[in-house]
Amino acid sequence: MRVEEVIAYRERWRAVEAIEQAERRRATPELRWRQLNALVAMAQGLGLVASDAGEAGGHARWATLRRRMADRRPEA
Protein backbone atom coordinates (compact mmCIF):
# COMPACT_ATOMS: atom_id res chain seq x y z
CA MET A 1 0.00 0.00 0.00
CA ARG A 2 1.14 3.47 -0.73
CA VAL A 3 1.19 6.17 1.91
CA GLU A 4 -1.86 7.86 0.39
CA GLU A 5 -3.83 4.61 0.50
CA VAL A 6 -2.91 4.04 4.12
CA ILE A 7 -3.99 7.55 5.04
CA ALA A 8 -7.29 7.15 3.16
CA TYR A 9 -7.88 3.78 4.84
CA ARG A 10 -7.33 5.23 8.31
CA GLU A 11 -9.58 8.22 7.57
CA ARG A 12 -12.40 5.91 6.46
CA TRP A 13 -12.17 3.96 9.69
CA ARG A 14 -12.11 7.19 11.69
CA ALA A 15 -15.34 8.18 9.93
CA VAL A 16 -16.87 4.81 10.81
CA GLU A 17 -15.80 5.27 14.44
CA ALA A 18 -17.39 8.74 14.55
CA ILE A 19 -20.69 7.33 13.26
CA GLU A 20 -20.61 4.50 15.81
CA GLN A 21 -19.95 6.96 18.63
CA ALA A 22 -22.88 9.11 17.51
CA GLU A 23 -25.12 6.03 17.44
CA ARG A 24 -24.05 5.07 20.96
CA ARG A 25 -24.80 8.60 22.22
CA ARG A 26 -28.28 8.52 20.65
CA ALA A 27 -29.14 5.09 22.07
CA THR A 28 -32.02 5.25 24.52
CA PRO A 29 -31.86 3.51 27.89
CA GLU A 30 -34.51 1.08 26.61
CA LEU A 31 -32.37 0.14 23.60
CA ARG A 32 -29.33 -0.33 25.80
CA TRP A 33 -31.39 -2.46 28.17
CA ARG A 34 -32.60 -4.67 25.30
CA GLN A 35 -29.05 -5.04 24.01
CA LEU A 36 -27.84 -6.02 27.48
CA ASN A 37 -30.67 -8.54 27.83
CA ALA A 38 -29.76 -10.03 24.45
CA LEU A 39 -26.14 -10.43 25.53
CA VAL A 40 -27.11 -12.06 28.82
CA ALA A 41 -29.52 -14.41 27.06
CA MET A 42 -26.81 -15.37 24.57
CA ALA A 43 -24.31 -16.00 27.37
CA GLN A 44 -26.85 -18.15 29.19
CA GLY A 45 -27.66 -20.06 26.01
CA LEU A 46 -23.98 -20.76 25.44
CA GLY A 47 -23.56 -21.92 29.03
CA LEU A 48 -21.18 -19.09 29.87
CA VAL A 49 -23.13 -17.91 32.91
CA ALA A 50 -22.51 -19.97 36.02
CA SER A 51 -25.39 -19.99 38.44
CA ASP A 52 -24.98 -20.65 42.13
CA ALA A 53 -27.05 -20.02 45.26
CA GLY A 54 -25.37 -16.65 45.84
CA GLU A 55 -26.54 -15.41 42.47
CA ALA A 56 -30.15 -16.51 42.87
CA GLY A 57 -31.23 -13.21 44.42
CA GLY A 58 -29.56 -11.26 41.64
CA HIS A 59 -31.29 -13.35 38.99
CA ALA A 60 -34.65 -12.78 40.68
CA ARG A 61 -34.09 -9.01 40.74
CA TRP A 62 -33.00 -9.12 37.12
CA ALA A 63 -36.20 -10.95 36.15
CA THR A 64 -38.29 -8.41 38.07
CA LEU A 65 -36.61 -5.49 36.30
CA ARG A 66 -37.05 -7.20 32.95
CA ARG A 67 -40.79 -7.69 33.60
CA ARG A 68 -41.17 -4.05 34.66
CA MET A 69 -39.49 -2.83 31.49
CA ALA A 70 -41.73 -5.10 29.40
CA ASP A 71 -44.81 -3.65 31.11
CA ARG A 72 -43.69 -0.10 30.28
CA ARG A 73 -43.40 -0.68 26.53
CA PRO A 74 -46.08 1.10 24.53
CA GLU A 75 -48.33 -1.07 22.42
CA ALA A 76 -47.45 -1.00 18.73
Question: What's the pLDDT tens digit per position in 10-27?
Answer: 999 999 999 999 999 999
Check: pTM over 0.75? Answer yes or no.
no
Q: CA nearest 28: which of 76, 73, 59, 67?
A: 73
3 state DSSP class of 47: coil
- Give whole-number Cα distances, 70 to 48, 50, 60, 67, in Å: 25, 25, 15, 5
pLDDT above 90 covers what percent of the chain? Answer: 51
Give me the pLDDT at residue 31, please.
93
